[in-house]
Amino acid sequence: MLSALLALSVSSCDIDRIDAQPISVTENDFFTNNVEFELTVISAYATLTDYYFFRGNNFLHEIYHMRGDDITEDRGNRTAFELFAGLTASNDKVTYYYERTYRMIQRCNVIIEKSETIDTSGFEDPDMVQVNKGEALFLRGLAYFNLYNLYGKAPLVTERISERDKVNTPPSEGTQLLDQAILDFEEAATLLPESWPSEDNGRATRNSANGFLLKSLVFRGDYTGNSADYSRAIQLFGSISRNLTDAYTDNFSAFEVNNEESLFEFQSGRPPGGLSNAYLQNDGAWRGVESMAAYWGFFDTGNNVSNNNIGGQTWKVTEKLFNMYGDDPRISFFIDGDRYFTKYGKAPFDEPATSFMPTSLNNPRILRYADLILLTAEAIVKSGGSNAEAIELVNRVRTRARNWAESIEFSTGLPADYSTSESDPQKVLKWIMDERFVELCGEENMRFNDLKRWDARGDISLQNWGGGIEHFSTDLSATMQFEYPKHMLLPIPQTEMDRNSSFTNNNPGY
């Protein structure tokens, strides 16, 4: 797995060289063979750890889990994102996510530059360098896709910054970040392999690139109203060679990672020493104990260190979702007690990274096939295509859920197939939107991103949304402070505003 390769790079730095003379390695001494290119690519993948590790109980997950109407909490520990309360440009998590994403972009830009300028004729496998370029393009595309959805605007940097006069890159405009993500995914798909050997599980594939390309096109279609993007997404769907797993739970189990439904996921692993320190960054001093695992304590109801490190607080499905679909097995299976939600953290499906640190070997699934099926169904309806074809796609997802539930002897709340004779496209679109609510509940960067793009297209309106059960449905008694359109985006970090002279205004309202 990719995590094993990363661990190898860690252990190679744990050699005692006390008596060795200092050496001077410059960039010109590097990128001389395939191994050095591979190590640089691994360093780009490694930055994904920053999004998922415990970070001393300052984890980032509420940025992409708690701003919608599917997940809530009842302790008031995450109000900046749960209630949009006091969210400012100086927020540590807003700043950290932004800065770490640009660290990944810079690493990707170095790889892309070197793949285009280095003479690889003497390499053992010159063609592999172009595959490495495809991996860098994919990761950069993922970075810009997320920056667009979270911040709206940000510097669009597509070349390595090595001169001071280029650091003040102006903010993007309109959908430029999303446009670049689409370009990167398109090129990556031409360079990446269909699959990797098992020891390289987790590295981006052609399916990864085409999957995110499809998703980006549907998003852009919603934001721009360009129906051609929907048509391209529909065409792409047929080129993606993935399948739904028989068991819905395989997508949230540490023992079924990198399965046939997964197109890309973070590879949660252990350092070579076996002791994962969840407080240390992956880009630390490589002592062999840095965090390489994911944190899921907020989806864990057990009496253990993972959950207790946040005061025994487990996040919940909202009363809104519970009242609408709480008996659907995809929700009810993961509910423990008073709507406490255990997706990714349910005891039989989780695997702690070590016996005493609050981290997990359960991979966050960043993109899975069910998401793409439902996005394609949306694209069909929104481009004026066949309602029956769109409904058949939705029914594929519902049939899997029903068959899985029956196999574990669930007898209530089984999702029935919709009638393919329904002629009202708005009703079909509502079915699709509700199916995403249930199928993708509690998964990263899903619900709020969906709500935003549907608002942009006019499918729904988020204006005047409050904390009541019909809107964000928070369990907290404090006042919801959502402001429209201010809170549709995160603020540009104050550090960027202070550093980059090209930024004269933050996002509206900040």
149-190 tens-digit pLDDT: 999 999 999 998 877 777 899 999 999 999 999 999 999 999
Residue 12's pLDDT band, with cuts at 50, 70 and 90, is very low
What is the mean predicted confidence (pLDDT) over 91-115?
97
243-290 tens-digit pLDDT: 999 999 999 999 999 999 999 999 998 877 767 777 787 776 556 778
Is position 307 within any domain? no
Is position 19 within any domain? no
- Average pLDDT of the chain, as a whole number: 92
Q: What is the structure's pLDDT at 483?
A: 98
441-500 tens-digit pLDDT: 999 999 999 999 999 999 999 999 999 999 999 999 999 999 999 999 999 999 999 999
Q: Around Cβ 15, how many Cβ atoms within 10 Å?
A: 7
365-376 tens-digit pLDDT: 999 999 999 999
Residue 129 contacts residue 115 (beta carbons within 8 Å): yes
User: How far is residue 365's CA from residue 263's CA, in Å, rounded to a whole number?
Assistant: 8
pLDDT of 14 above 90: no
Is position 354 within any domain? no
Q: What is the structure's pLDDT at 98?
A: 98
CATH of the domain at 106: 1.25.40.390
User: How far is residue 15's CA from residue 124's CA, in Å, rounded to a whole number?
Assistant: 27
Token pair listed for 123: 């390499």
What is the mean predicted confidence (pLDDT) over 398-410?
97
User: How far is residue 276's CA from residue 295's CA, in Å, rounded to a whole number?
Assistant: 12
Number of domains in the chain: 1
Is position 303 within any domain? no
Radius of gyration over every alpha carbon of the chain, rounded to an integer in angstroms: 22
Is position 454 within any domain? yes
Q: Give the H/E segment covering residue 43.
A: helix 34-46
Domain containing 181 equals 2-12+31-68+78-292+315-349+360-473+482-499
User: How far is residue 270's CA from residue 276's CA, in Å, rounded to a whole number?
Assistant: 6
Residue 298 contacts residue 350 (beta carbons within 8 Å): no
Residue 372 contacts residue 441 (beta carbons within 8 Å): no
DSSP string, 70-123: SEE-SS-S-HHHHS--S--TT-HHHHHHHHHHHHHHHHHHHHHHHHHHS--TTS
Q: Give the H/E segment covering residue 340.
A: strand 340-341
DSSP string, 399-411: HHHHHHHHHTT--
Identify which of 286, 45, 93 has the alpha carbon closest to the alpha carbon of residue 277. 286
Q: Which residue has the higher pLDDT, 26 or 78?
A: 78
DSSP type of residue 344: T
pTM: 0.94
pLDDT of 4 above 70: no
Is position 395 within any domain? yes
Q: Torsions phi, psi of 124, nearest 5? A: -60, -35
What is the mean predicted confidence (pLDDT) over 389-405?
98
Is position 433 within any domain? yes
pLDDT of 197 above 90: yes
Write the burial class of residue 23 (CB in 10 Å: 0-12 exposed, 13-18 middle, 19+ buried): exposed
423-436 tens-digit pLDDT: 999 999 999 999 99
pLDDT of 355 above 80: no
Q: Give the H/E segment covering residue 325.
A: helix 319-325
Is position 21 within any domain? no
282-333 tens-digit pLDDT: 776 556 778 889 999 999 998 888 888 888 899 999 999 999 999 999 999 9
User: How far is residue 412's CA from residue 391's CA, in Å, rounded to a whole number?
Assistant: 22
Amino acid, res. 277:
N
Write the burial class of residue 416 (CB in 10 Å: 0-12 exposed, 13-18 middle, 19+ buried): exposed
Q: Is 366 helix (H, G, I), strand (E, B) or coil?
A: strand
Q: Around Cβ 228, how many Cβ atoms within 10 Å?
A: 12
SS3 content of the chain, % helix, strand, coil (to 5): 45, 5, 50
User: How far is residue 412's CA from residue 93's CA, in Å, rounded to a whole number?
Assistant: 40
122-134 tens-digit pLDDT: 999 999 999 999 9
In sequence order, what E strands does 248-287 have?
262-265
Q: What is the structure's pLDDT at 1?
A: 55
